[in-house]
Amino acid sequence: MNDTQENAAIRLADYRAPAWHVDSIEMDFDLDIESSELSTRLLLRRDPAQDSPLRLNGENLELLSIALDGKTLDADAYRFVDDLLEIDNARDGSVLETRVRLRPAANTALEGLYLSGSHDAGFLLTQCEAEGFRHITFFPDRPDVQSRYTVTLRANRERFPVLLAGGNPDGVGDLDNGWHWVRFVDPHPKPSYLFALVAGRLDKITRDYVTADGRKVVLNIWAESDAIDRCHYAMDALERSMRWDERAFGRNYDLDVFHIVATHDFNMGAMENKGLNIFNAKYLLADQDSSTDDEYRHVEAVVAHEYFHNWSGNRVTCRDWFQLSLKEGLTVFREQSFSADMNSAPLKRIEDVSLLRRAQFPEDAGPIAHPVRPAQYSEINNFYTATVYEKGAELVRMLSGHLGKQGFRRGMDLYFERNDGRAATLEDFLGSLGEANQVDLMPYLAWYAQAGTPRLKAEGRHDAESRTYTLRLIQHGSNGHEEKPALPIPVKVGLFDRDGEMLDLHMDGQTSHGEKETVVLLDQAQASFVFRDVVEAPVPSLLRGFSAPVILEYEYAPAELALLLAHDPDGFNQWEAGQQLACRAYENLRDGVADDALIAWTDALALLFEATEIDQALLADLLTPPGEIELAEREASVDPQRIHALHRQLQLRLAERIGARALAEKYEMLHKCSTIKLDATSQAQRRLKRRTLELLGLVDSAETQRRAVTQYREAPGMTDRLAALNVLLRSDAPQAGSAVAQYRARYADNALALDKWFALQAQVPGDATLDRVKMLEQDASFTLRNPNRVQSLFGAFVRGNPSGFHRADGAGYRLLADRLLGLDALNPQVAARLATAFNGWQRLEPCRRELAHAVISELAGNDALSRNLSEIIVSMMQG
Ligand code: TRP
Ligand code: ZN
């Protein structure tokens, strides 16, 4: 992720259009668990302007036969070296036929064709993005090669009663020996990464749907029999997503069937294969007994995300993987807009900005930092990052803010129309958005090209005599003195008077006078903006709605932030003021200086805690200061255990200020109306109840433990149950052990619920957790072969538990390095992702830095690492 990266680097600047296209592809599979065979027939088209020989990608393929234009090739007419098959004498219009053998059961990397579950009960499926298709057959495996697919699946009927591939069904039939066949034809040319098949014993739920433009579609969700009853919520979410895309973007579905399949064995969240989405069960299954409110919302969001890809990704795809954010950033933004419409818009914004700060800012500040459109990579799977997804979505949000709602829709219409069926670039995207609105958006390309979180410094000056308020904005890139081109930064501004009322804004040269908020665009290194008719020095509310992904520097007095926290009518900005104030309060504690911010923060929240009209979910978020990872980002020398202690103290001061009595009363009040319902009010009550119980635990431990035991026992659903268990575990309650055992037994057959059991324990702060993690590895249900399980134990420990992972003796680092080696041999993608937990090691305090450095160097010296893991480790050493 660095300029000095390996020779293996692939560069954006080296892009060449493909010399060979494949107009159509026929695939005939003979499927079985241990060994599958596949014949592929490619109809080739040559670019007359190029004369390179035909070269096809292929990895881990056993070539059984090969023929060109009907003639079996002699051994000297082709070469298969370094995962490339080079074939002589191919012509425009040639037909290439290959037959290969695949070994699905032995495929632990979960890329290409693999087995989910056990040999006897499991099913077969594929994962092709980004470059998995080359693990299935020989093909020019790049997204700018788009083909018509005809796929025939043959398998034993009893073992594989369900056979699915993308596209429309095109016939079924019986074969000898108890086998059967099923055929699919996809009328929409697509890149190979969107190919998918599924084969096995699966149950389904189904629903009829008619698109706004009148197409009858059958929606099917498939899952193993023990899970099919947990698919109804996802089906509802799918229907909502389809309707929303019709209304919000005028996008209709375009095949006769749409399938979603759930699997427990999946490297990421979900995959948008054309007509056959495949989901990690974690983001599809939901039921009251085993899913939390947050998980319900995640299911809705991921179902929407994958569905929205049908246009932003599939109909319009990416020219090359450098353009990944063209589909991912845009689709995340579309999902965010959908979720904001379905639920509470401010809460959704709070959630997304928190995620950005927790996951993307640290990425952008450390050794694996890269632009939203990277300039080079070694292993593309390492670039499915928070930067490409989340920062990418923020860039689309800025563009949509720049154009306004209607202008953005106009631009998107033109983008879809002009690029339908094409493999497009970010320039195509900005070009369409701009052209439809007669503005030049190309300056925003600079955002896509530079890594690092920009800093935005703001200064305000009030002049009583001229009654003007001048806002001066200065931008500087994050990487010190490095020269970077100025970025267009839209800054949404509001001004408050000292009573907390918003002023009517008047600016010269602006058409809209008297609005309460306005957007000023900083498109040079610095600029000043003058507001007129401002009688007294106002309190500015800057970057409202988080209008640009920057770090804002403005020297607020604590009382000014407290005023915004008390009065801003917009929930997001209210929360943001509270977050800034909490950071200052944290610094009060850390530096042992005056308590001014701490007092302002706790006073303001104690007042809000008593307010009757406030949204209870928002209140829960207001009562939650920035997390340990965010706080660490602000430190020059990081001691995660000291940060943890201060973070706890900060919350203790808040709990003390509100008082045990008020907390207990609120808890009892919320506990009394405890329900299992999923509506917004019920969810909000549970969210606030959880937060109240946590705060109460800080000031009245024994009484809180007693309450938690009751809540655990009587919980109507998973949100309350898990919250109670968490409080018991973290307060080291005497009753924790039996609750943990009871949960383990109760959910022995529910993998997703067990994942939460592992994660909760792995996230208990402190030195003792490392030994607990080692003990949990011995649990009969633990395995390194399942990515969700790895994530729930090790991911939760190394990423979700800074004070547990960063033990002063370095034992956490050694454990991670050990497991990375074991994991890398099985599944390089998952190993590489877990390894990014070392991000930020250079800023650790000297002792921990030394220990981390030793462990990472040792890994770097190991030449048996996969390309995936090696790229991450090498970057870590270079930062
Ligand atoms: N395109 C998928 C999404 O964001 C993510 C994805 C990329 C993926 N590579 C994958 C999913 C590998 C599973 C496995 O929607
Ligand atoms: Zn996506």
Of 315, 347, 376, which residue constitutes the final position of a domain? 315
Domain stop point among 449, 465, 482: 449
Expressed in angstroms and rounded, the spacing between residue 129 Cα and the centre of ligand 1 is 6
- Domain assignment of residue 248, yes or no: yes
Domain with 490 in it: 455-548
CATH of the domain at 299: 3.30.2010.30
* Each residue's pLDDT tens digit, 296-318: 999 999 999 999 999 999 999 99
3-state class (DSSP) for residue 84: strand
Residue 864 has, within 13 A of its CA and on its CB side, a CA count of: 7
Tell whether 735 is covered by a domain.
no
| Residue whose CA lies nearest to ligand 1 atom number 10 | 129
Q: Is 419 helix (H, G, I), strand (E, B) or coil?
A: helix
- CATH code of the domain covering residue 476: 2.60.40.1840
Ligand 1 touching residue 390 (CB < 6 A):
no
The two tokens of residue 182 are: 């099923």
Ligand 1 closest atom vs CA 384: 7
Write out residues in the chain with pLDDT < 70, as ranges: 1-7, 478-483, 511-512, 879
Place of tokens 């045990």: 660
Same domain as 209, residue 147 = no
Q: What is the mean pLDDT of the chain?
A: 97
Residues 114 and 241 in one domain: no
If DSSP codes are grouped into helix, strand and coil, which group holds residue 469?
strand
Burial class (CB in 10 A: 0-12, 13-18, 19+), 415: buried
Counting the structural domains of the chain, the total is 5
Residue 271 CB less than 6 A away from ligand 1: yes
Residues 102, 30 within the same domain = yes
Measured in Å, residue 393 CA sits from the centre of ligand 1 at: 16
Is 514 found in the same domain as 401?
A: no
Report how far ligand 1's centroid is from the alpha carbon of 271 (Å).
5
712 lines ligand 1 (CB under 6 A): no
112 located within any domain: yes
User: Are both 525 and 396 inside the same structural domain?
Assistant: no
Ligand 1 atom at shortest distance from the alpha carbon of 313: 1
Whether the CB of 829 sits within 6 Å of ligand 1 = no
Chain-centroid distance of CA 739 in Å reads 32
Compute, in angstroms, the gap from residue 427 CA to the centroid of ligand 2: 20
Which of ligand 1's atoms lies nearest the C-alpha of 829?
Answer: 12
CA of 269 to the centre of ligand 1 (A): 7
The CB of 267 under 6 Å from ligand 1? The reply is yes
279 lines ligand 1 (CB under 6 A): no
Q: What CATH number does the domain containing 327 carry?
A: 1.10.390.10
CA of 273, nearest ligand number: 1
Determine the atom of ligand 1 nearest the C-alpha atom of 270.
Answer: 11
Q: Judge whether 676 lies within some domain.
A: no
Q: Is the CB of 428 under 6 A from ligand 1?
A: no
Does 241 share its domain with 389?
A: no
- Per residue in 363-375, is it b (16+ CB within 10 Å) or e — as a string? bbbbbbbbbbbbe
SS3 of 115, please?
strand
Q: Which residues pair with 155 in a beta bridge?
A: 180
Residue at 332: amino acid letter: V
Residue 483 is predicted with a pLDDT of 67
Domain assignment present for 395: yes
Ligand 1 atom at shortest distance from the alpha carbon of 280:
13
Domain harbouring 45, CATH code: 2.60.40.1730
70: left (phi over 0), alpha (psi -120 to 50) or beta: left
Residue having the nearest C-alpha atom to atom 6 of ligand 1: 271
* Pocket mutation for ligand 1, best pick of 384, 788, 827 (most atoms within 8 Å of C-beta): 384
Q: Tell me the best of 107, 128, 267, 868 to mutate to test the pocket of ligand 1, counting ligand atoms within 8 Å of each CB and taking the most.
A: 267
300 plus 393 within the same structural domain: no
Residues 171 and 45 in one domain: yes
pLDDT at 512 (0 to 100): 67
Q: Whose CA is nearest to atom 3 of ligand 1?
A: 271
- Distance between CA atoms of residues 170 and 277, nearest Å: 19
Ion ligand 2 — residues with CB < 5 Å: 328, 331
> How far is it, in rounded angstroms, from Cα 186 to Cα 170?
9
Say how far apart CA 557 and CA 597 lie, in whole Å.
8
* Pair (14, 142) in one structural domain: yes
CA of 318 to the centre of ligand 2 (A): 12
Task: Please give the number of the atom of ligand 1 that sits closest to the Cα of 132.
Answer: 12
Domain end residue (candidates: 548, 577, 594): 548
Q: Which residue's alpha carbon is at the smallest distance from atom 15 of ligand 1? A: 271
Question: What single-letter DSSP state applies at residue 486?
Answer: P
User: For residue 312, which ligand has an atom nearest its CA?
Assistant: 2
Q: Nearest to residue 63, comparing CAs of 143, 164, 138?
A: 138
- Radius of gyration over alpha carbons of the chain, in Å? 28
The Cα 669–Cα 662 span in angstroms is 11
Same domain? 176 vs 208: no
Our mutation pick for probing the ligand 1 site, out of 271, 299, 380, 389, counting the most ligand atoms within 8 A of Cβ, is: 271
**Same domain, yes or no: 96 and 226:** no
Do 307 and 415 lie in a common domain? Answer: no
**Mind telling me the catalytic residues?**
306
Ligand 2 centroid vs 300 CA: distance in angstroms? Answer: 14
Q: Which of 268, 274, 310, 312 to mutate to test the pocket of ligand 1 (most atoms within 8 A of CB)?
A: 268
Q: Is the pTM of this model over 0.75?
A: yes
Question: Does residue 186 lie in a domain region?
Answer: yes
Ligand 1 neighbourhood includes 306 CB (under 6 angstroms): yes
Domain membership of residue 753 (yes or no) is no
Residue with the smallest CA separation from ligand 1 atom 13 is 268
Whether residue 489 is contained in a domain is answered as yes
State the distance from the centre of ligand 2 to the C-alpha of 328, rounded, in angstroms. Answer: 5
Tell me which residue has its CA closest to atom 9 in ligand 1.
129
Q: What is the 3-state secondary structure (H, E, C) of 810-852?
A: CHHHHHHHHHHHHHHHHCHHHHHHHHHHHCCHHHECHHHHHHH
Read off the pLDDT of residues 665-681 as tens digits, 9 standing for 90 and up. Answer: 999 999 999 999 999 99
Place of tokens 């989901």: 279
CA of 818 to the centre of ligand 2 (A): 31
Ligand 2 centroid – CA 158 distance (Å):
34
